[in-house]
Structure 1
Amino acid sequence: MAQIIVLPHVELCPEGAVFEAPQGTSICDALLSQGINIEHACEKSCACTTCHVVVREGFNSLEEAEEKEEDLLDKAWGLEPNSRLSCQALVADADLTVEIPKYTINHAKEGH
């Protein structure tokens, strides 16, 4: 199991979080299992960018992004060199520090 540290996010996780996640779990599923309701408008099918995260530590432990993910990431708000779609990035054996960007490009966000 790897430890995931989630940096504070004003809406989704104001205090931040620290938890364990099994290897092979997507970062998105790991966050959702902890009640951190990251957006995933395409239901985790790699068809949008709403689950975009920035991996601040442990980025190199993740498998490389496939071309489809890379193409979508180009459209993500706040793109950084260590950005990933959390639905596609699978937890390996290294600890991760993850930041959820303040904004997404989802124009039909539910509940707002």
Structure 2
Amino acid sequence: MTRIVVLPNEKLCPEGAVVEAEPGESVCRALLRNGVDIEHACEMSCACTTCHVIVREGYDSMEPPDELEDDYLDKAWGLEPDSRLSCQAIVTDEELVVEIPRYTINMVSERH
């Protein structure tokens, strides 16, 4: 099992979280399975940006984003160089530290 450290997020996990993931599993699926209710409007089909995370540590341990993911990431709120769609970011055997941005594109467009 691989550890994913989730930095505190005001709404989803105010204290942060440490979850266990299977290598080969997506970050999104691991978070959901461990009670971190990250938004995933497209049901993890790489058709939105609501599961956007910023990988603070371990980014280079994963395969780089493909062209489709890159296209969607361009639309993500709060995009950073180490941003990924968590539904497409596949866990390896290296620990990850991820930050879930405060807002998603859905929240921004709804003026939250």
TM-score grouping bracket, smaller chain normalisation: over 0.9
Structure with greater helix percent: 2
- The equivalent of 1:40 in structure 2 is 40
Aligned residues with identical type, % of pairs:
68
Aligned-residue offset at 1:20? 1.6
- The equivalent of 1:89 in structure 2 is 89
Deviation string, structure 1 residues 53-86 (Cα, Å, up to 9, x no partner): 0000000001011100000000000000000000
- The equivalent of 1:26 in structure 2 is 26
- The equivalent of 2:65 in structure 1 is 65
Aligned partners of 1:52, 1:17: CA distance in 2, in Å? 17
Name the TM-score, length of structure 1 as normaliser.
0.93
Aligned-residue offset at 1:2? 1.2
Gaps of 5+ in 1: none
Helix, strand or coil for the counterpart of 1:69?
Answer: helix
- The equivalent of 1:102 in structure 2 is 102
RMSD: 1.1
Aligned-residue offset at 1:19? 2.1
Gaps of 5+ in 2: none
- The equivalent of 1:3 in structure 2 is 3
* Number of corresponding residues: 108
Aligned structure 1 segments of 4 or more residues deviating by more than 4 angstroms:
none
Aligned partners of 2:6, 2:66: CA distance in 1, in Å? 24
